[in-house]
Amino acid sequence: MGRGAGWPTLGYPSPPIESTSNITPRGLTTMPSEGDLECETLIIGSGAGGGVVASTLAEKGMDVMVVERGAYIPRSERNNREFEMVSRMYADRGMLTTNDQAISLFAGQNLGGGTSVNWSVSLRPTEPLLNEWAREHDLPHLLTPEFSQCIDDVCEQLNVVPEVPHNRQNQMLLTGSECIGGPSGPLPQNVRGCEKHGYSQCGYCLFGCRNGFKRDVTEACFNEKRDTGDVRIHDNVEIKRLVHRNGNVLYAEAVARSSNGELRSLKIRAKRYVVSAGGIFTPACC
């Protein structure tokens, strides 16, 4: 694909197309062609929740299986082209809507989930918000020092930094706000190496970071080299529902899609289940 005729006038850089190296996520495993699966802990979803839980449990030596509805998109296939990347990295090829089609819902559907396609802004939950969650959802542990330490640990793992260079558009917004005396300031982001390698004004975060500078779950939790237990990651696996009996989960009903597009149904049994498929898909499979 070529350059847009109006890009130079707008000051819009063409998508970077430099070659990049792939790092296969540790544990990425081909789904067996037949039979059901078993594990100690089944984690449904590989995004912000699932990835961190998987990494933490694996470090403690547990047998962990992660299943992801979307596909793993390696760095070399992230070409920063909007149509292709939205089609491959977002739920329902970027066409997910409410039932009445009044509202479009952009949700990440790939290994890494929403962390692969967000803008990298990483905000700590505020004290009023934590108080609200603790009060309305009976979660008192959110107000403990231990939970605050967990947030610190995640921010360190994701390399959340307080300020990064702005591209021209955002710098103009910041300058304009300062000129009129409006409240303004930098937002912390989970990136590492963008400015050093000449990508401080890249702006293609929402199509997946081609160079691994954005510390999404795939980079921070699945690609890191560390002493771990057994982690198995299966992409292109959709959990249809959890089957319950007498208040206990018996197994997860799943549909796996092979590399040639063939579908097969299977059951996945585990001692414990972690449902972290995002705000849209988590309720659907429970």
Tell me the pLDDT tens digit for each residue of 96-105.
898 898 998 8
Question: What average pLDDT does the segment 187-210 reach?
Answer: 78
What CATH number does residue 261 fall under? 3.50.50.60
Residue 230 lies in a domain: yes
What is the domain range of residue 272? 31-118+212-286
Residue 279 lies in a domain: yes
- pLDDT value, residue 259: 84
Which backbone phi and psi does 132 adopt, to 5 degrees?
Answer: -65, -45
Residue 183 lies in a domain: no
Residue 13 lies in a domain: no
Residue 184 lies in a domain: no
How many domains is the chain built from?
Answer: 1
Residue 41 lies in a domain: yes
Q: How confident is the model at residue 146 (pLDDT cuts 50, 70, 90)?
A: very high
On the CB side of 207, how many CA atoms lie within 13 Å of its CA? 19
Residue 43 lies in a domain: yes
Residue whose C-alpha is closest to residue 66's, from 236, 248, 212: 236
Three-state DSSP at 42 gives strand
pLDDT at residue 22 is higher than 80: no
Residue 179 lies in a domain: no
